[in-house]
Amino acid sequence: MKVTQIQNDADYALVEESICSPQGSSRAEKNFADKAEATKIIVDAVRKRGDAALKEFTDKFDNADLTPEQFEVTPDEIDAAFNEVDPALIESLRKARANIESYHSKNLRQSWEETLEDGSTIGQRITPIESAGVYVPGGKAFYPSSVLMNIVPAKVAGVQEIVMVSPPSYNGTIHPVVLAAVKIAGADRVFRIGGAQAIAALAYGTETVPQVLKITGPGNTFVTVAKGLVRSICDIDTEAGPSEVTVIADATADPRLIAGEMMAQAEHDEEASSILITTDATHIASVPKAIQKELEALSRVDIIQTSLDNNGRIIVARDLEEAAALSNLIGPEHLAIYTEKPRAVLENITAAASIMLGNNTTVVWGDYIAGPNHILPTGRRARFASPLTAEDFRKVSSVIEFTDERVQNLSDDVIRIAAAEQLTAHARAVQMRQKK
């Protein structure tokens, strides 16, 4: 784990440069470039050959010999999977669903219309998109939480058809816990397909898989690159990179809790980033010591250790204002503030996708059950992008209706502007409506 102590402005400038450099700004970029050509071949094949290519890649990459008729998971299979799952876990998933639904219901914009003095109207009309495709990762692990975080906001938004895809990584099908989450969340159709081929199928449609208007959900590098390739065909949420956490701490923070936060992020994969920005130099020794002690009880030790060795970092800042400034440069996916007065630090934060305040609040609450979404911008994108919400599944149409009076009052102004832009047909369209 890299350690840097900032003692003067020159030290700060070096840290700032390391964060803002092209190499440091997006750890995933090179990986994306390396996978781009292979991903494009997969996407083009599915676009041109549909189910035949989908079958070929499912067999090749997921080791699942499925016919197109077997791609879709039946309602009976979903019910059977639901009945396999521990009732206590079902109750926990239902509680998570309720919290997610409640949170996402609170930030919905409303349609509105204003009648002007002359009787003309202007306004906006909010409508849900008609269809959405949800990608839920499989492979090394299974993620019922991602099912809820994608589908529930789409349901809140009023999406008519929600199609979920997930790799057949569990005996040729999808893990029962994931399918149980599907039943709780309420997807309309589910397909056991994954990877770039699943993204292409959702974007272009095949003989079996319906085409959708938006694709959301995290995945591996191939999935992320594929989403970028199809974003001119349909909307996507974000091109997510490796998971990230930044912790801001002072002398009141418990090294064990800091260690736990960094390890929880590091266990996602070897590319995950865990950064501590602290005003207490004793954390240089105490946090790594706590990590090594806690590692003994964890299952993904090698992944955590590799992640922290390669992408872990401790920065000792001169004060909390400087710590906040550095965090804003990073623009982390997750920010945990473990200080005596976390809300005072929050006042200086302008770029973080999900913010946890105080020692009681681990990032994990947001991952599973708090209510806000865990589908978040990564790779410094939190400086300009936001978490997934129900609003991302809705669209705005502006509505205009002019009366005769308004036509006459504004025509000359519009004709002048159109003439300045040398758009004579624009001017003529207005002139046709003027009264002689």
**Active-site annotation, residues:** 333-334
The region, left, alpha or beta by phi > 0 then psi within -120 to 50, assigned to residue 54 is: alpha
What distances in angstroms separate CA 93 from CA 184, 191, 223, 418, one per listed residue?
8, 21, 26, 57
SS3 257: helix
Residue recorded with tokens 């800091």: 258
Half-sphere exposure of 189 (CA within 13 A, CB side): 18
Number of H helices, E strands in the chain: 18, 14
Cβ–Cβ < 8 Å for 55, 206? no
- For residue 28 the two structure tokens come to 């995933």
CA dist 167 and 276 (Å) reads 35
Half-sphere exposure of 288 (CA within 13 A, CB side): 13
Cβ–Cβ < 8 Å for 84, 216? no
CA dist 31 and 241 (Å) reads 10
CA dist 188 and 158 (Å) reads 12
Cβ–Cβ < 8 Å for 142, 175? yes
